[in-house]
Amino acid sequence: MITSILAQAPAGGAGIMGQVFLFGSIILIMYFFMIRPQQKKQKETKKFIDEIKKGDSVITIGGLHGKVSSVEGDTVVLELDRGFKVTVEKSAISLDFSKKTSK
């Protein structure tokens, strides 16, 4: 009876290692499919906002289409129509929509 209890003990340890391996692989998969692409998109958006210059055609997250008239710190002056200008924050400019219209 004691030998049968001792014979079952190593099998339990192997099960725990399998669970640890499974949990680790799930975390790794989540990193590559969720966290890493999000970080990449954040870097791309920051680079786009930092590189906005006069003459660029952009779209705000509110849907306003315009051409950059000037860049002043964290704000951008957009010319929506001849003589009609609007001041918006740089963070209000959408990378996704601006890319679609420039192609």
**What CATH number does residue 87 fall under?**
2.30.30
- Per DSSP, the residues of 38-86 read HHHHHHHHHHHHHT--TT-EEEBTT--EEEEEEEETTEEEEEEETTEEE
- Strand 84-89 relative to strand 75-81: parallel, antiparallel, unpaired? antiparallel
Q: Based on the fold, state whether residues 76 and 38 are members of the same structural domain.
A: no
The whole domain housing 98 covers 54-103
**Residue 95: what pLDDT?**
84
Whether residue 46 is found in the same domain as residue 62: no
* Phi and psi torsions of 61, nearest 5°: -70, -15
Pair (80, 95) in one structural domain: yes
Per-residue pLDDT, 80: 93
Q: How far is Cα 1 from Cα 26, in angstroms, rounded to an integer?
A: 39
Number of independent structural domains in the chain: 2
Instruction: Give the pTM.
Output: 0.65
pLDDT in tens, 36-73: 999 999 999 999 999 999 999 999 999 999 999 999 99
| Cα gap 23→29, rounded to integer Å | 10
58 and 70 part of one domain: yes
53: which 2 tokens? 């210059």
